[in-house]
């Protein structure tokens, strides 16, 4: 009797594990391959790009969409390969390297000390639907440039990027967010160049 009961339990578990579900698509955001023109006189300083901090829900690899401005849900069969913060960091690092804005660029994992630190906080990274069934990629992130020696903030800026989606599904959202991330990286690079000129690092 005991043996029969044990087999029954195993059968239930096997049945649960063997449930069939459609395959999940994983997406990633690759850095832009568009060639950039490097500036002639780079900023003579070392910049470390710190890992972007995000709200807890955006730390996962779920692909979220927003409906009716406040209802949030995740696509069942579409996911990111990495957290949005990691993908933004990768794209920004690539953009800065292409532009050769700083003499030396350090990733967040580097043990070397830097002159400047770029901190950021991600508040939104969603595929957002509006009432008229149109949708867009929506990113809201704030960046701060900090002097590592004095620990004082040099400049700060909030970036809100909206990129229309071509289709009202996960694929359309991924494409829109990919474009938004690329625009974001370009905007941040331009901003850092402007800050460098303001502080007379670039003549």
Residues that bind other proteins (CB under 8 A): 12-13, 15-16, 19, 51, 56-57, 59-63, 65, 73-78, 82-83, 86, 108-111, 129, 135, 167-172
* H/E element, 116: strand 116-129
Q: Are strands 43-49 and 102-106 parallel, antiparallel or unpaired?
A: parallel
Q: Closest distance between other proteins and the C-beta of residue 19, in Å?
A: 4
Q: 123: phi > 0 → left, psi -120 to 50 → alpha, else beta; which? A: alpha
User: For residue 115, how far is the Cα from the chain centroid?
Assistant: 24
Q: Closest distance between other proteins and the C-beta of residue 110, in Å?
A: 7
Q: Closest distance between other proteins and the C-beta of residue 36, in Å?
A: 27
Q: Closest distance between other proteins and the C-beta of residue 148, in Å?
A: 15
Contact 124, 138 (CB under 8 A): yes
| Residue (72 or 194) nearer to other proteins, CB | 72
| Residue (67 or 157) nearer to other proteins, CB | 67
What is the C-alpha to C-alpha distance for residues 73 and 76, in angstroms, rounded to an integer?
Answer: 9
| Residue (19 or 37) nearer to other proteins, CB | 19
| Residue (129 or 201) nearer to other proteins, CB | 129
| Residue (43 or 174) nearer to other proteins, CB | 174
Query: Rounded to a whole number, what is the largest CA-CA distance in the chain?
Result: 87
Do you know the residue count of the chain?
A: 203
Q: Closest distance between other proteins and the C-beta of residue 3, in Å?
A: 20
Contact 38, 99 (CB under 8 A): yes
């Amino acid at each position: 009797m005991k043996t029969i009961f044990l087999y029954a339990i195993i059968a239930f578990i096997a049945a649960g594990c063997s449930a069939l579900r459609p395959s999940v698509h994983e997406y990633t955001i690759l850095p832009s391959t568009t060639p950039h023109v490097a500036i002639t006189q780079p900023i003579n300083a070392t910049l470390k790009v710190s890992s972007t901090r995000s709200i807890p829900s955006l730390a996962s690899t779920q692909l979220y969409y927003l409906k009716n401005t406040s209802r949030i849900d995740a696509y069942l069969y579409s996911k990111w390969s990495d957290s949005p913060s990691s993908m933004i960091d990768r794209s920004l690092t690539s953009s800065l390297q292409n532009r050769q804005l700083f003499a030396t660029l350090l990733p967040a994992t580097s043990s070397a000390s830097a002159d400047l630190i770029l901190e950021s906080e991600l508040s939104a990274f969603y595929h957002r639907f509006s009432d008229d069934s149109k949708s867009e990629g929506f990113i809201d992130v704030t960046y701060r440039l900090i002097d590592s020696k004095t620990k004082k903030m040099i400049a700060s800026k909030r970036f809100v990027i909206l990129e229309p989606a071509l289709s009202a599904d996960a694929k359309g959202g991924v494409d829109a967010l990919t474009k938004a991330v690329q625009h974001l990286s370009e905007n941040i690079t331009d901003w850092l160049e402007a800050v460098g000129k303001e502080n007379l690092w670039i003549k």
